[in-house]
């Protein structure tokens, strides 16, 4: 019975652990590792039943199920795809069914399971012990439910973390090939892609850790195809004059916002004591993002059906095994071709999102004059909150007027303050003395009206 109490204590600790800072999730990982060990311990008769409960579910299985449900509850939130679908089908759906919406703890737990599964195999375990299979099954459940309880951000983040672990745990000779100072950027990226692909292809069994990474990559590729197909169909209907403003349209996912790309994590110079110096080697984060970009888009039919992309990908992987000075240019050219095709596909997704009001802050930075009222009416809560702050800072009267019009036309579309902290941060001070300003500008009047509405 004491064993069950220890398990309950650890689950309680996991559910109440403080939110870690990015890159400092070690405490969470230690708790998850302890919970995995407790899940695998045979239980005496007690709270979690006998070793086999009526021949249907063992105590070990019961503990694993509780651990997974606790983690899913920790991540599930009011704006998750699953909750939105429930709210659309059941109008009385209550937000009380939602969880904590905590990302980093959920990510750290999945990372821990992936690291445990990737470092073990069935052949290293005792006969009759299926710990490896249960860890991999738990990993599969969490990764395949992550798009529903979290969303596109979870898919992209987990892909990046899994790839990072593969590169960091590479064998000594692989590590030299990946991070050697004399190796060019394109060859490093090519070797990173080849290493990940070889890990996935070598894991033929479905209970292998790398099968979870393969599932995430396939899911991301399929989702990109669905989004591009949706845009293509709408453009076709608009060209035929079949679209109506009253028709309720489906919208693409936000995957294109979070998907890794080769410009993230790139560092061209480092400032040390005020002196700019070139880095000795390419940052690992850039290698990971550039490799993830190729890995995801290589699963997309929209990219694969492009003959130039398919040929470049074959050259990219076919010559990396014997990469040298003569093949360096071939690999570099193939990489640039694929990145150009990917950039054009991303541009199509981003332009569509901006036109539909999904990336208003981004559009405001590029060109405020391109923002229209119909885009603001369709804008998302978080994006509108940032847009309001940015437009207030830039004193953009036109944009503030459109946001005010959105609130005035439908009070239900008001982006309420999410917390006391947000309310305090956005508080408007009329003057240093607290007295009303005699002749406020139109922008100030609109900003004040928006705050009252919120």
Q: Contact 154/252 with Cβ under 8 angstroms?
A: no
Average pLDDT, the chain: 76
The model's pLDDT over 402-447, given as tens digits with 9 standing for 90+, comes to: 777 776 666 565 656 656 666 666 666 554 444 444 555 555 665 6
E-assigned strands of 172-274? 270-272
The confidence score (pLDDT) of residue 340 equals 94
What pLDDT does 162 receive? 95
The half-sphere exposure of 236 on its side-chain side, counting CA atoms within 13 A, is 6
What is the predicted pLDDT for the residue at 351?
84
How much is the pLDDT for 59?
A: 85
DSSP secondary structure, 161-199, as one string: HHHHHHHHT--HHHHHHHH-TTS-HHHHHHHHHHHHHHH
Q: Average pLDDT, stretch 230-240?
A: 80
- Nearest alpha-carbon partner for 102 in 179, 16, 174: 16
> Whats the size of the chain, residue-wise?
454
Instruction: Find the angle CA(142)-CA(144)-CA(148) to the nearest 5 degrees.
Output: 90
Give pLDDT, residue 445.
62
CB atoms within 10 A of CB 429: 7
Q: What pTM, to 2 d.p., does this model score?
A: 0.76
Three-state DSSP state, 282: coil
The whole-angstrom separation of Cα 339 and Cα 297 is 10
Helix 185-202 to helix 307-318 angle (10° resolution) is 90
The answer, yes or no, to whether residue 247 has pLDDT greater than 50, is no
Question: Count of alpha carbons within 13 Å of 62, Cβ hemisphere only?
Answer: 21
Residue 212 pLDDT exceeds 60: yes
**Of all residues in the chain, what percent carry a pLDDT higher than 90?**
28
Structure tokens at 420: 């006391």
Per-residue pLDDT tens for 160-177? 999 999 988 876 545 545
Q: Hey, what long-range contacts does 378-382 have (CB within 8 A, 24 or more apart)?
A: 379/406, 381/415
273 has pLDDT over 50: no
Is residue 52 classed as helix, strand or coil in its secondary structure?
Answer: strand
Whether the Cβ atoms of residue 147 and residue 156 lie closer than 8 Å to each other: no
Check residues 248 and 20 and name the one with the higher pLDDT: 20
């Amino acid at each position: 019975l004491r064993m069950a109490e220890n398990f309950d204590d650890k689950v309680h600790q996991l559910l109440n652990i403080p939110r870690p800072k990015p890159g400092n999730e070690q405490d969470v990982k230690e708790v998850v590792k302890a919970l995995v060990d407790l899940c695998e311990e045979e239980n005496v008769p007690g709270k979690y039943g006998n070793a086999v409960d009526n021949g249907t579910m063992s105590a070990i299985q019961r503990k694993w199920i509780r651990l997974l449900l606790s983690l899913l509850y920790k991540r599930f939130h009011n704006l998750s795809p699953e909750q939105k679908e429930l709210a659309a089908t059941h109008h009385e759906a209550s937000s009380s069914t939602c969880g904590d919406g905590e990302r980093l703890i959920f990510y750290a737990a999945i990372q821990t399971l992936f690291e445990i599964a990737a470092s073990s195999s069935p052949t290293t375990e005792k006969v009759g012990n299926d710990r490896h299979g249960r860890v991999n099954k738990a990993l599969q459940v969490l990764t395949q439910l992550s798009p529903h309880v979290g969303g596109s951000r979870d898919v992209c983040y987990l892909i990046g973390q899994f790839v990072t672990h593969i590169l960091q745990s590479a064998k000594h000779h692989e590590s030299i090939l990946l991070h050697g100072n004399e190796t060019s950027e394109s060859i490093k990226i090519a070797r990173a892609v080849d290493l990940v692909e070889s890990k996935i292809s070598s894991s033929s069994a479905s209970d292998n850790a790398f099968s979870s990474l393969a599932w995430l990559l396939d899911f991301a590729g399929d989702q990109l195809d669905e989004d591009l197909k949706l845009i293509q169909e709408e453009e076709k209907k608009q060209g035929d004059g079949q679209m109506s403003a009253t028709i309720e349209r489906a919208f693409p996912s936000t995957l294109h916002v979070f998907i890794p790309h080769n410009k993230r994590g790139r560092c061209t110079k480092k400032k040390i004591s005020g002196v700019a110096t070139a880095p000795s080697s390419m940052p690992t984060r850039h290698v990971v993002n550039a490799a993830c970009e190729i890995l995801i888009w290589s699963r997309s039919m929209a990219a694969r059906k492009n003959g130039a992309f398919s040929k470049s990908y074959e050259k990219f992987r076919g010559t990396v095994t014997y990469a040298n000075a003569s093949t360096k240019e071939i690999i570099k050219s193939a990489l640039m071709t694929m990145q150009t095709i990917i950039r054009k596909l991303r541009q199509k997704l981003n332009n569509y999102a901006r036109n539909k009001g999904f990336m208003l802050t981004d559009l405001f930075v590029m060109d405020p004059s391109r923002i229209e009222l119909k885009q603001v009416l369709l804008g998302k809560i978080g994006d509108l909150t940032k847009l309001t702050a940015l437009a207030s800072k830039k004193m953009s009267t036109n944009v503030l007027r459109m946001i005010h019009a959105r609130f005035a036309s439908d009070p239900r579309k008001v982006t309420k303050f999410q917390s006391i902290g947000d309310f305090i941060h956005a508080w408007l001070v009329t003057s240093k003395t607290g007295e009303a300003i005699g002749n406020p500008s139109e922008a100030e009047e609109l900003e004040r009206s928006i705050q009252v509405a919120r």
